[in-house]
Amino acid sequence: MNSRVVYCACMLVLTFFVNRDLFAQKQEISIIPVPVQVEQGNKAFTINSKTSIRTQGAEATAIGDMLAAYLQAPTGYPMPVKAQSGRNTRNSIALVVDPTYQVSHGEDAYRLQVDGKSIKITASSGPGLFYGVQTLMQLLPPTIEGTQPVTNSAWTVPGVDITDYARFGWRGLMLDVSRHFFSKDFLKRYIDQMVRYKFNVFHIHLTDDQGWRIALDRYPELTEKGAWRVPRQGKWWSFQPPQPGEAATYGGYYTKEDMREIIQYATERFVTIVPEINSPGHSLAAITAYPELACVEDDYHVNPGSRFYGQVCNALCAGNEKTFEFLDGVFTEIAELFPSEYIHVGGDEAFRGYWQECPKCQKRMEEHGLKNVEELQSYFIKRLEKILHDKGKRLIGWDEILEGGLAPDATVMSWRGMAGGIEAAKMGHQVIMTPNRHAYLDLYQGDPLIEPETYSMLRLTQVYDFEPVPEGIDPKLILGGQGNLWAESVPTEKHAEYMTWPRGLAVAEALWSPKDRRDWNGFVERVEHHFAYFEEADVHYARSMYDAIIMGVKNEQDSILVELTTEIEGLDIHYTFDETDPGTYSPKYNGQLLEVPSGASQIKVRTFRNGKPIGRQINCPVKELEGRIGSMI
């Protein structure tokens, strides 16, 4: 072989090895939620078939086994897990539990160090170590989310030194499984998605007017009758009520064994499951099973999504002692099943009209000197708190539990904005912030003309603006917050994913990252990177942030003009009024309000990036523009 050819080949190989680490440093570091501190180093680490996982401590070994499973499927490497020793740990991923590490930052704190020889994650306990592993997974290419080995892939981790810890201890997502039942396997999958972004509370809304989802030994009819309703499709609240003789075939429930399996799965991933048994309102499924718990006799049916509020009694009778005997039995089994310190009792949107007419409720009010039905609900919640305390549990309720007087030890989950949480905190109560203006994931996330049917608007930008600690409130009283996914308009598991992501990423960052580390433009760049992870993992996510925002504006002559904007920067907006579809050859919006040409019936709009379409086309009728004046659409 020509000596010059050999020399050049050797130099190419040498150049590759010299520059390999520098090349790896160009890998994008797109961690969500953004860590407290990230320092990039000069040496990258490449995982190969000889890499091992070395652990120190029993908790570390369990997490090491989980990491090995994470890595083996996509890499094909067996990744042995070994106890730490004094020998050389080169080409290893070390997981170390050190009780003295960052104790002041809590159990979620960790340090992740990557250099050319090894990876090391240090934490004071299991949760922090587990979160360090989640960060490590985000430093690997998106193909890590695949389920089949990826050949010819460089499993290179950029050199970093990350110090990180959580801002809040309560970082939750709520999933409503009452309106539509979601399978046990999906709940596990949802937990897997949550923990990648360091959520640690899974609030499961188990009961409501549309279904009772947990089997209890003392009350078998709760699931025999309460877990099923007549099947309906279409727009929620437009459905026909159950018809005479129509079979209730739509629904489902979790057995205790199912729930134990889910709880164990969550516990292994440092997620606490908080069950919600909604009372006194939203109780039609329970009343269908046990009609004697209502204020009036009636032929009760689990509601399929038809309008009934105020027309059918869906609140448990507060004057009937059997109601509290029933709830004591329910919460006895719930407390035995769920290890969570907290149990959520609902307390929201209770229609109290039937209480005003109920002789038993009126007698209860007279006996206890209660002036109105608001105070009767307070009496109800305080009795629930006593029931839970007797079982070693603490009560959480929606902010309506403030009405009529707050139970002494109650924790308030503030959903109607933050006012309820502020009021509770000023009284010295602990608060979890879940304001609908920032955390209701069941709302539209893009233009209603192209999004699945729901109500109101919550764009990604609004979620990212979520700040859980109001000005003037003691931060120690704010446990944290969560995003809530109500399921009236979420009939499938894939749609639940679509409504959660990427807005769930914004919730995660609001609850984990330091306030001064949050940056909208940087977040958007990281979200785009994580779309690739979602695709590899077959997670259905929304790309609504790319779509145009179409607003109506009235001028001094009372004519309606059109304003076009985008959520994210760097997009071009093209539009047409002539019924043709917009392309880069169509007029480009320049920031000036648009006059609607005479005779035009609609404006068609689409966003582009670098000359390529990126958002969806929106066809907005001109007659709809007036309804968009001053709105968030």
| Residue 173 in tokens | 């997502």
**Structural domain includes residue 542:** no
**Structural domain includes residue 364:** yes
| Catalytic residue, candidates 208, 385, 451, 509 | 208
Separation of alpha carbons 199 and 47, rounded Å: 27
CATH of the domain at 72: 3.30.379.10
List C-alpha distances in Å: 507 to 38, 459, 467, 504, 518: 21, 12, 10, 5, 12
Separation of alpha carbons 131 and 121, rounded Å: 10
Residues 103 and 186 in one domain: no
Of the given ranges (27-36, 124-133, 182-191, 311-320), which has the lowest mean pLDDT?
27-36
**Structural domain includes residue 303:** yes
- Please tell me the number of Cα atoms within 13 Å of 606 on its side-chain side: 17
Task: Check whether 21 has a pLDDT greater than 50.
Answer: no
Q: pLDDT for 31-79, tens place per residue? A: 999 999 999 998 999 999 999 999 998 899 999 999 999 999 999 999 9
Residues 132 and 229 in one domain: no
CATH of the domain at 361: 3.20.20.80
297 catalytic? Reply is: no
| Catalytic residue, candidates 282, 344, 429, 530 | 282
Answer with the one of 479, 511, 536 that is the final residue of a domain: 536
User: What's the pLDDT at 632?
Assistant: 55
Residues 245 and 365 in one domain: yes
Q: Alpha carbon 73 to chain centroid distance?
A: 26
The reported pTM is 0.94
If one counts the domains in the chain, the total is 3
Separation of alpha carbons 239 and 136, rounded Å: 47
User: What's the pLDDT at 479?
Assistant: 98
282 catalytic? Reply is: yes
Residues 233 and 142 in one domain: no
> How does 109-146 read in b/e, with b if 16+ C-beta sit within 10 Å?
bbbbbbbeebbbbbbbbbbbbbbbbbbbbbbbbbbbbb
**Structural domain includes residue 616:** yes
**Structural domain includes residue 633:** no
User: What's the pLDDT at 633?
Assistant: 64
Report the interhelical angle of 503-512 vs 520-536 (nearest 10°). 120
Q: 407 CB contacts (<8 Å, ≥6 apart)?
A: 378, 381, 382, 384, 385, 395, 397, 401
User: What's the pLDDT at 162?
Assistant: 98
User: What's the pLDDT at 88?
Assistant: 64
Helices (DSSP H) in 25-148: which residue ranges? 58-75, 126-139
Determine the structural domain holding residue 610 and report its residue range. Answer: 547-628
Mean pLDDT value of segment 424-440: 98
| Residue 470 in tokens | 């109001």
User: What's the pLDDT at 104?
Assistant: 80
User: What's the pLDDT at 558?
Assistant: 87
Residues 97 and 130 in one domain: yes
Separation of alpha carbons 313 and 323, rounded Å: 14
Contact (Cβ atoms closer than 8 angstroms) between residue 626 and residue 552: yes
Task: Check whether 2 has a pLDDT greater than 90.
Answer: no
Q: Pairing relation of β-strands 228-229 and 250-251? A: antiparallel
Residues 154 and 179 in one domain: no
Residues 556 and 439 in one domain: no
Residues 121 and 150 in one domain: yes
**Structural domain includes residue 610:** yes
Residue 58 phi/psi, 5-degree rounding, is: -60, -45
Residues 495 and 382 in one domain: yes
Task: Check whether 12 has a pLDDT greater than 50.
Answer: no
Task: Check whether 221 has a pLDDT greater than 80.
Answer: yes
Q: pLDDT for 604-626, tens place per residue? A: 999 999 999 999 999 999 999 99
Residue of 570, 569, 573, 580 lying closest to 550 (CA atoms): 573
Residues 21 and 141 in one domain: yes
Contact (Cβ atoms closer than 8 angstroms) between residue 562 and residue 593: yes
What DSSP line would sit under 429-442, residue for residue?
--EEE--HHHHBTT
Q: pLDDT for 509-541, tens place per residue? A: 999 999 999 999 999 999 999 999 999 999 999
pLDDT above 90: percentage of residues in the chain: 90
**Structural domain includes residue 541:** no
**Structural domain includes residue 139:** yes
CATH of the domain at 603: 2.60.40
Q: pLDDT for 181-194, tens place per residue? A: 999 999 999 999 99
In the chain, count H helices and then E strands.
Answer: 17, 28
Contact (Cβ atoms closer than 8 angstroms) between residue 329 and residue 390: no
Contact (Cβ atoms closer than 8 angstroms) between residue 163 and residue 36: yes
Answer with the one of 139, 164, 189 that is the final residue of a domain: 164
| Catalytic residue, candidates 185, 349, 390, 525 | 349
Helix (H) / strand (E) element for 173: namely strand 170-176
Answer with the one of 123, 140, 164 that is the final residue of a domain: 164
Give the other-Cβ count within 10 Å of 631's Cβ. 10
Separation of alpha carbons 26 and 288, rounded Å: 61
Residues 128 and 273 in one domain: no
Separation of alpha carbons 79 and 75, rounded Å: 10
Residues 84 and 33 in one domain: yes
pLDDT band at 153 (very low <50, low <70, confident <90, very high): confident
pLDDT above 70: percentage of residues in the chain: 95
